[in-house]
């Protein structure tokens, strides 16, 4: 059984053997039964409790609004002191409204959970003696991790084995340079940044390989203790801030209005309880209580539609930024090109085909184990040599600093180091060049010739790597220091053709108001060749060496005009993204590698792919199931559809509903009776909720997705003022006609106003949902059907037996005709107001 003592509090001071003993584990890992027991005992490997809302919790959330709670209390008081039937009806309507919201939101929540499971990050762990992939949450103390470049470190661990292991620990130490790790024993007082034998949750591997023993998980980790102390939460994006401001805006108006109505009704010596219930019922109609549910439904529906287009949204609120994005930055490989690198040829320094270069390339690729990549796969696929006489003895894995991969093999009694990598980085460690079968010349004598060959091939769109070798003698181990004084053998030529329809895709993005910027580490010739093939004619380029000479302030003014950033170092990608953001753009970044993490974090929308390394996929807001810009185009469209439909509800909540409630509040001051009873107000609100609940499935006009849209609270205020006044004008017209023209009694007045209020609010949804004339913009089928059903039910209700429950009275047909005339005028005036509003206010 695991020894749960304080001996592991300074585990870096223990030997790996002692740690294994303390944790009652072995190099073969835990058994499944033991791991299950530890998971139960220590809990999931998370910093916070899993945000899994139960059905009951979600249901209760529908009623947590202070106004709803007050309404429950007032209804309960009403049961005690006066009309129990009315109070029960009020509570029934509130419960039914809550159930409606629960039903929609619960379905949305489950759908999103299923989508997130599709892009779950896993880690290689030894269980029952063999390596298996497990979700990060299932890691427990005592697990043996099998780690390589690109992996997230899932828990605080001690190294058991390591090979050229470099780890980025910036999240904990702030140090931007990778830290080399190795098996060691350290004093207990060793500070965090110098614990070279330990790995920490929240960091990630840059290069190398390792096996590590998990010591602490979840909140017990160093990262867990920091987040607990600081209560770290992800920053709110623009959409979330906008929603919060909108909610506060309506809440302030509601509180002022309700308090004023209550005080005036009491001053007019009306029953206090009736006035209180009336005021609370008005507040239910005014407050954006459905806003969280509507947003959740819209975003989850958008996420499902985006998933159909192979786009998985990890953070729902990122959909808004995705739709608003006007700049997308991307590498070329796999996004603009096919992504399936094809081996083209092996050339010596003279540009002639060389079997020697091919053989050494095949040796290097065949024995490489540190980093899975398309280059080595292409070499292994297209070349074939008998390596039975070769034995691998060591490897120096590829990393993004050296940009080289070295393999040491023994062959006929000697040891040969074969190094492959970026041409410039290979030449940096070479002293000689192979000429012919055995002759060698000084590199400096032929460097210009090699450089010219490199530039000519690059200009044709080929990707070029260099390969070199060196005799090591009898040593069976090598280190990075051995990569020097090597013999340059030649060039490896690869071809990654552009995708067939990529130029059409780029044009589609341009038509959506999204400009593409290519950020690549490849040389300028390859980048320019590709861009000319995909339709970026005469692009403006900025190269790495030029970028390094430009100040941050100057870069802000330059980035907007640049289409290609070539020869860019990984740490400069973030600088480009930040400059684009400061220039006023909403920036998306597509990345799938270790060196893309900082740029993914810096972008407004971090976009990765399913095949990305763990750390890139974890940093992304959105994951593409295919690395294809065409997938991105459809995702952007759906993101804009989602935002447009959310905005529709916001406009609805600030127009007809607000106008009706404001009118009712005003009418209560000069009418000798309440214009609607509390239960009738709540029924009105309940019925008008139904069409709004279907907004997520509504169709969106082309102009709403043709360009990025931003959340603007000032536009919402203007919209509320214009359409609220239009709504109130016709409300007061209805009051005047009912009271002074038709001379109806209070019960008929309420019935007439109830019908006019619900029908007009339902029809106005069809007007507000589009900038065009409502009959020229086809609404979604659910919205249209539900709207018609609500109108039909509202008209019939006063003529049914249930009318008595709500104190509604049937109206003569001529009265209904007059009311429908008012509604027709209202819809017409709303169309006119809409035309002038959008002519003067740009959204």
User: Active-site residue numbers?
Assistant: 331
**Which tokens in the block code for residue 739?**
């009271």
> What radius of gyration do the chain's Cα atoms show?
34
Angle at 623 between CA 708 and CA 595, to 5 degrees: 100
Distance separating alpha carbons of residues 815 and 813, to the nearest angstrom:
5
Beta-bridge mates of residue 407: 395, 418
CB atoms near residue 341 (< 10 Å): 22
The encoded tokens of residue 654 equal: 């600030």
CA distance 553 to 543: 17
Could you tell me which residues come within 8 angstroms of residue 756 by beta carbon, excluding any fewer than 6 positions away?
Answer: 731, 734, 819, 822, 823
Tokens representing 703 are 């102009």
Question: How far is it, in rounded angstroms, from Cα 690 to Cα 641?
Answer: 20
The position carrying tokens 């990345």 is 591
CB neighbours of residue 313 within 10 Å: 27
Using CA atoms in the order 59, 65, 67, 68, what is the torsion angle rounded to 10 degrees?
Answer: 0
> How far apart are the C-alpha atoms of 313 and 36, rounded to whole Å?
30
- State the SS3 of 46-108: CCCCCCCCCHHHHHHHCCCCHHHHHHHHHHHHHHHHCCHHHHHHHHHHHHHHHHHHHHHHHHH
Torsion of CA 789, 792, 796, 801, to 10 degrees: 0
Count the neighbouring beta carbons within 10 Å of the beta carbon of residue 481: 7
Q: Which residues contact 482 (CB under 8 A, 6 or more apart)?
A: 396, 406, 417, 470, 472
Structure tokens given for 659 = 């106008």
Q: How many CB atoms lie within 10 A of CB 714?
A: 8
Count of residues for the chain? 843
C-alpha–C-alpha distance, residues 734 and 725, integer Å: 14
Residue 670's SS3 state is helix
Question: CA geometry: angle at 704 spanning 699 and 706, to 5°?
Answer: 115
What kind and span of H or E run contains 156? strand 156-168
Separation between Cα atoms, residue 723 and residue 725, nearest integer Å:
5
Residue 469 tokens, joined = 């070798």
Sequence-ordered list of residues with C-beta below 8 angstroms from that of 52, at least 6 positions apart, any chain: none
Answer for the pair 21, 215: CB distance below 8 angstroms, yes or no.
Answer: no
Query: Measuring CA to CA, how many Å separate 148 from each of 45, 93, 109, 165, 210?
Result: 20, 58, 34, 8, 6
DSSP label at residue 741: I
Tokens of 758: 């619900």
Q: Cα(200)–Cα(696) distance, rounded to whole angstroms?
A: 42
Q: For the chain, first and last CA: distance in Å? A: 64
Q: Which helix (H) or strand (E) covers residue 599, if one does? A: helix 597-602
Distances from the Cα of 697 to the Cα of 82, 151, 299, angstroms: 44, 39, 11
Backbone angles phi, psi at 535, to 5 degrees: 95, 10
Burial class from Cβ neighbours inside 10 Å (0-12, 13-18, 19+) for residue 776 reads: exposed
Would you say 516 and 489 are in contact if contact means Cβ atoms under 8 Å apart? no
């Amino acid at each position: 059984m695991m020894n749960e003592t304080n001996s592991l509090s300074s585990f870096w001071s223990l030997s790996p053997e002692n740690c294994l003993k303390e944790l009652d584990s072995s190099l073969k890992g835990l058994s499944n039964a033991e791991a299950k027991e530890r998971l139960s005992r220590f809990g999931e490997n998370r910093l916070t409790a899993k945000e899994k809302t139960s059905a009951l919790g979600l249901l209760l959330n529908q009623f947590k609004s202070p106004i709803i709670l007050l309404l429950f209390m007032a209804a309960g008081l009403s049961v005690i002191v006066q009309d129990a039937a009315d109070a029960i009806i009020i509570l029934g309507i509130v419960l039914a409204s809550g159930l409606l919201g629960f039903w929609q939101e619960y379905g949305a929540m489950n759908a999103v959970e299923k989508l997130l499971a599709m892009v779950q990050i896993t880690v290689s762990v030894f269980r029952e003696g063999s390596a298996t992939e497990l979700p990060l949450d299932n890691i427990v103390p005592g697990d043996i991790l099998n780690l390589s470049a690109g992996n997230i470190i899932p828990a605080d661990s001690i190294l058991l084995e390591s090979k050229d292991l470099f780890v980025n620990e910036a999240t904990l130490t702030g140090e931007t340079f990778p830290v080399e790790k190795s098996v060691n024993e350290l004093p207990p007082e060793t500070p965090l940044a110098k614990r070279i034998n330990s790995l920490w949750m929240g960091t990630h591997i840059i290069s190398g390989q390792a096996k590590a023993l998990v010591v602490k998980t979840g909140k017990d980790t160093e990262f867990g203790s920091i987040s607990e102390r600081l209560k770290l939460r992800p920053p709110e994006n623009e959409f979330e801030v906008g929603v919060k401001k909108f909610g506060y805006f309506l809440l302030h108006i509601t509180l002022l209005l309700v308090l004023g109505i209550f005080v005036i009704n009491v001053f007019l010596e009306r029953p206090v309880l009736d006035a209180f219930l009336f005021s609370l019922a008005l507040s239910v109609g005014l407050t954006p209580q459905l806003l969280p549910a509507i947003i959740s439904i819209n975003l989850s529906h958008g996420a499902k539609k985006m998933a159909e287009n192979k786009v998985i949204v990890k953070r729902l609120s990122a959909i808004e930024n995705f739709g608003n994005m006007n700049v997308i930055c991307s590498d070329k490989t796999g996004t603009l090109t096919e992504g399936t690198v094809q081996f083209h040829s092996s050339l010596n320094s003279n540009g002639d085909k060389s079997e020697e270069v091919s053989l050494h390339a095949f040796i290097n690729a065949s024995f490489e184990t540190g980093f899975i990549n398309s280059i080595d796969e292409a070499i292994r696929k297209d070349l074939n040599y008998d390596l039975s006489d070769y034995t691998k003895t060591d490897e120096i894995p590829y990393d993004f600093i050296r940009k080289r991969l070295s393999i040491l093999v023994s062959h006929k009694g000697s040891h040969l180091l074969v190094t492959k990598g970026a041409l410039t980085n290979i030449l940096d460690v070479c002293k000689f060049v192979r000429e012919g079968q055995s002759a060698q010349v000084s590199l400096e004598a032929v460097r210009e010739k090699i450089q010219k060959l490199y530039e000519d091939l690059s200009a044709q769109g080929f990707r070029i790597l260099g390969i070199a070798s060196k005799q090591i003698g009898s040593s069976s181990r090598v280190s990075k220091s051995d990569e020097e004084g090597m013999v340059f053998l030649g060039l490896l030529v690869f071809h990654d053709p552009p995708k067939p329809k990529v130029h059409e895709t780029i044009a589609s993005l341009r038509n959506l108001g999204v400009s593409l910027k290519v950020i690549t580490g490849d040389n300028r010739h390859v980048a320019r060749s590709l861009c000319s093939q995909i339709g970026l004619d005469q692009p403006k380029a900025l190269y790495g060496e030029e970028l390094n000479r430009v100040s941050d302030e100057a870069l802000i003014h330059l980035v907007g005009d640049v289409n290609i950033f070539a020869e860019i170092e990984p740490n400069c990608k973030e600088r480009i993204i930040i400059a684009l953001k400061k220039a006023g753009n909403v920036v998306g970044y597509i990345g799938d590698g270790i060196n893309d993490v900082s740029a993914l974090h810096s972008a407004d929308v971090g976009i990765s792919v399913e095949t990305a390394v763990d750390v890139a996929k974890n940093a992304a807001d959105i994951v593409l199931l295919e690395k294809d810009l065409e997938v991105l185009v459809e995702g952007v469209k759906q993101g804009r559809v989602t935002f447009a439909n959310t905005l529709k509800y916001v406009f609805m909540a600030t127009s007809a509903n607000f106008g009706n409630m404001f009118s009712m509040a005003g009418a209560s001051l000069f009418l000798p009776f309440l214009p609607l009873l509390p239960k009738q107000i709540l029924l009105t609100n309940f019925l008008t909720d139904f069409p709004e609940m279907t907004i997520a499935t509504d169709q969106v006009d082309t102009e709403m997705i043709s360009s990025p849209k931003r959340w603007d609270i000032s536009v919402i205020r203007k919209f509320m003022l214009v359409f609220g006044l239009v709504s109130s004008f016709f409300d007061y017209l209805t009051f005047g006609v009912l009271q002074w023209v038709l001379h109806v009694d209070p019960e008929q007045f309420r019935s007439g106003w109830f019908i006019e209020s619900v029908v007009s609010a339902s029809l106005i949804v069809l007007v507000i949902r589009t900038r065009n004339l409502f009959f020229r913009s086809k609404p979604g089928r659910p919205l249209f059907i539900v709207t018609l059903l609500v109108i039909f039910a509202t008209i019939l209700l006063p003529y049914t037996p249930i009318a008595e429950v709500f104190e509604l009275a049937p109206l003569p047909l001529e009265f209904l005709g007059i009311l429908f005339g008012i509604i027709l005028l209202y819809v017409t005036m709303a169309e006119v107001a809409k035309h002038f509003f959008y002519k003067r206010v740009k959204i």
